Structure 1
Amino acid sequence: MYNFRNDYSEGCHPEVLAALAGVNSESVIGYGADDYCKTCADLIKDLCKAPQASVEFMVGGTQTNFVAIASFLRPWESVICAHTGHVNGHEAGAVEATGHKLMQAQVAGDGKLTPAHILPLVEGGRDEHVTKPRLVYISNATETGAVYTKTELTALSKCCRDNGLLLFLDGARLGCAMASAVNDLTLADIAALTDAFYIGGTKNGAMMGEALVILDPALQGNFFRMKKQHGAVLAKGWLLGVQFQALLRDGLYFKIAGHAVEMAQYLQGGLKNLGVPMMVDSPTNQIFPIVPDKLLPQLSKLCSYEIWSKADEDHTIIRFVTSFATPKESVEGLLAELKKMG
């Protein structure tokens, strides 16, 4: 069976596994206070051209999102996000559980926020009887695989700074966003335009892990205590630093993300050639074919995938996701089988 369910089904990239094996016999100080994490944090700050930044290694995306938001906001402050945003639709109320309301903006199919989405919510929050919007949450890539351009992120950044808002970028799939053909952002650009963002490892070659980059010094104080309070400090913290060193030191992170994007685009193009329509035209490693319901039982025997939503009474939107480990043969094999099915 071909695997297109997600980009974290495999353990980790072989070079990451080799790096972990290489330190397996060492006795290392815990809780991220080790030389591996320090060296990797310095590497990330250099890549971001942000010497003032603080780098915090976390285990997973949901953990990173809710701990960062809980740390950055006061109790009466709220978050502006797209209604399709991961914090809203896939995290079981993790942010709300820390006491922060999500102010949802209804966005288009690409999942992107714009200043036009943000400003009405800011205006509505001026009343002292409601929560005050303080942070704008976006993800790159979005939940539907779209990528923010430098012009779009610059406009969002200006809007946030003009209105006293923090801009926080969820980078769980940042590798594939930056490997996309439509991307024109660098890590340094993202660091200059946001107050905090993270480099996702779980969905791009790491066994687990996200590297949170906090750019605004005012947000850095006591962050370790907040991590500890929320159960987000890994005792064997050096394992995160080792993995991100292996991914980022020589550009492996972007190389393997490029492979995932290439495989998804090959699959998307092949499906279009077979007459299969898409919910959106995704430039990253997630694609969203619209298939007849009657085809689903046969498709489920061929490959793993996610049901996304109903398209109409007789059609369903599904999601295919590729990863660093997706072989070209799987894409070709699936397309060949679908062609036989007509």
Structure 2
Amino acid sequence: MKAAKFYSALNIQIEEVQQSKIDDGIVKIAVEWAGICGSDMHEFLAGPFFAKSKVTLGHEFSGTVVEIGAGVTKVSVGDRVVVEPFYSCGDCDACTEGLYNLCKKVECYGFSDDGGFAEFVTVRESRIYKIPDELGFEVAALVEPTAVALHAVRKSQLKSGDSCAIYGAGPIGLLLVQVAKVIGAKEIIVVELSEERRKKALEIGATHVINPENEKPVKEINKIVRGGVHVAFDAAGAESSFIAALASLRHTGELMIVSLWEKNVSFSPNMLVIGERKINSSLGYRHNFQEVIHLLASGKIDGSKLITNKIYIDDIVKKGFEKLKNDKTQCKILVTPKESNI
């Protein structure tokens, strides 16, 4: 079967590999669609960070069960499914507290074990969720990143009637917009360089957008919300966005870091002390896939708005990773191993 193998930064290769055997408790899935994530881009541009050498990338994917191992009872052949890619040790302090995404030994399909940029993928039964017929395979591939956004908002102090600023309108930033809208945020302000992404943000629920290239975000935010926002989400992962997000906060406001970082940042702790502001962070998700499936299937969150391109697996480097690197009009690019899907 075909699979996209990661070797090192700027080195992803499409190879013919053997399909994995099915062991007890393991399920084989024929992949329909898999999304290229920002964390995949980090690996491609500057990795390895989390990805093992020669691993098949892809942790946002949907597909159909085609084979099950002994003891599998949760799913059957023919079921339409998505996969929660994290799997943890189950024994450490974080796991016993239910915080399995914080497990010190956490592993993830697409980084530590082969993922969904392939014709078939084998996963543990416990990581699989069935999807309803009204949720198409393409949008279902966005369950994983939507779970990231939902976890970040739920973990933050944002509540109905509050204001928020979102720095960065890539896939996670745009999903943050929709989740903030679902919970009833009054002002949802997006700071983004790309004109196309600013337009998309307004289309899906942002109340205001700011171009940081020719506007000063903090000044503009204070014009919209006197004193600053209740919560600022950093989905950009740059020092400039980090500093501006902190400065955008009202007293007792919260900066929620959602992005991954390639470089360190420097800031004055006085930005926190003065005003009793705080910094929080969010890693992935936990215990929310079923809720996300409902939000997407019901249309409360419109995942289709994020999909800007669909490509065949053979083109994953040039039309996928390189396109996302060079073309900032792109948002979510989906990859399929099935030529019939294109």
Q: TM-score, normalised by structure 1?
A: 0.36
Where relative contact order (Cα < 8 A, 6+ residues apart) is larger, the structure is 1
- Structure with the bigger percentage of strand: 2
Normalized per residue, the structure richer in helix is: 1
The TM-score normalised by the length of structure 2 is 0.36
